[in-house]
Amino acid sequence: MQRRPLVIAIVAIVVVVAALAAFKYWRVSSMIAAAAAFGEPAESVQVAPARPITWQAEASAAGTVVARQNVMLRNELSGTVATVHFRSGQVVEAGQPLLELDTRTERAELRSADADIALARLTVERTTKLVEMKAGTQAEVDRAVAQLAQAEARRDVIATAIARKVLRAPFRGRIGLRDVHPGQYLAEGTELTTLESVADSVYVDFRLPQETAARLAPGAGVRIAGGALAAPATATVRAIDARADEASRTVRIRAEVEGQGEVLKPGAFVDVTIAAEAPRAVLAVPLAAVRRAAYGDHVFVIGAPAAGDKGPRAEQRFVRTGPVVGADIVILDGLAAGERVATEGSFKLRQGSLVQVTDGEAAAGAG
């Protein structure tokens, strides 16, 4: 009689456990059935086709604006500044006096030389008449003529020294900043200021790797931008250096920009872009389609739906990219023309993801 309650308790426990197991099985089966009925979620993306375009590889360099003519003005001889004839930033004409050194000593010597010349000429005339009168010798005449030539040569030396103490503009141009004043002593060769030619055109000097420079020739066009330019301008290659720099293996190139002489200041920096290769056909896709990763750039290609699928699936495709052209990026390898790639929403995809193409396809393809 005492075992009966125990058996009843054990049977009750077994019944409860069996009921709980049956309920759990029913619950899990229901969830599995509901999940199967719901189906795999599809990621919404926009797509665009890989479009063929004509593209030309470009190379860029840093350019420096150079005036057609430019000099650093220096005094030839030492002396004290007597007069300064220019202002900072002034445009001067060729031959215009810019600076005069004190020449009082030289001018006194010049007057002395003029007196010596006058005396020597009288001596030549007198000795010549004496010879005609048989009262002199030809040797005396020759000596008088030599003394006259020496006096004239001495005068020329003094006149040249006076002229060299007057600094004149070698060409029409714009003076730099003035930092010289009357009374200032100048040693020979002192840097006074710069003179940059004023012209409608200027030069742009830049350097390119020797391989790229070999594709250029005088007359080729390059594009410059930056600096004071409101918009990119076209320059024409005028000269290519005869040798490459031994340290950098680059070649110096000079191009001319027409019509920008008043805009571009000598010494200014500009960006130079040149065509490095001949134009060729490539593919382009919207920039948003390319995903950057440490293991390589890739896109997700959206093909036709497979049998049994409710929509297309994403295929991860590694590509070799080129430069950005506007809102597109050049694809050099990895895609075929016309293949559709995911653009907006591609960050949500992985290999084999089910996708749903939205209405942005046409707009993306037009970009």
Asked: is 43-55+280-366 a CATH 2.40.420.20 domain? The reply is yes
Per the prediction, the chain carries an average pLDDT of 88
At the topology level, CATH places domain 72-195 in OB fold (Dihydrolipoamide Acetyltransferase, E2P) (2.40.50)
User: Quick one: residue 296, left, alpha or beta (phi over 0 = left, psi -120 to 50 = alpha)?
Assistant: left
**First CA to last CA distance, the chain:** 91
CATH architecture label of 60-68+201-275: Beta Barrel (2.40)
Q: pLDDT tens digits for 9-65?
A: 777 788 777 878 887 887 877 776 655 555 678 888 999 999 999 888 888 899 999
Q: What is the CA radius of gyration of the chain?
A: 45
For residue 357, what is the enclosing H or E element? strand 355-357
Residue 253 sits at the vertex; the CA angle it makes with 247 and 256, to the nearest 5 degrees, is: 155
Q: CA–CA separation, 256 vs 114, rounded Å?
A: 52
- Token duo for residue 342: 């995911």
Contact 168, 97 (CB under 8 A): yes
Average pLDDT over residues 232-254: 94
CA–CA distance from 204 to each of 18, 89, 219, 237 (Å)? 92, 22, 14, 9
Residue 228 sits at the vertex; the CA angle it makes with 222 and 233, to the nearest 5 degrees, is: 25
Q: pLDDT tens digits for 64-85?
A: 999 999 999 999 999 999 999 9
- Give me the pLDDT at residue 135, please: 79
Q: pLDDT tens digits for 265-323?
A: 999 999 999 987 778 889 999 999 999 988 899 999 998 888 777 789 899 999 999 88
pLDDT of 346 > 50? The answer is: yes
| DSSP state for residue 123 in the 8-state scheme | H
- Residue 361 pLDDT class (50, 70, 90 cuts): very low
Which residue ranges make up each domain of the chain?
A: 43-55+280-366, 60-68+201-275, 72-195
Average pLDDT over residues 105-112: 94
- Give me the pLDDT at residue 365, please: 40
Answer yes or no: same fold for 60-68+201-275 and 72-195: no
Q: CA–CA separation, 288 vs 343, rounded Å?
A: 5
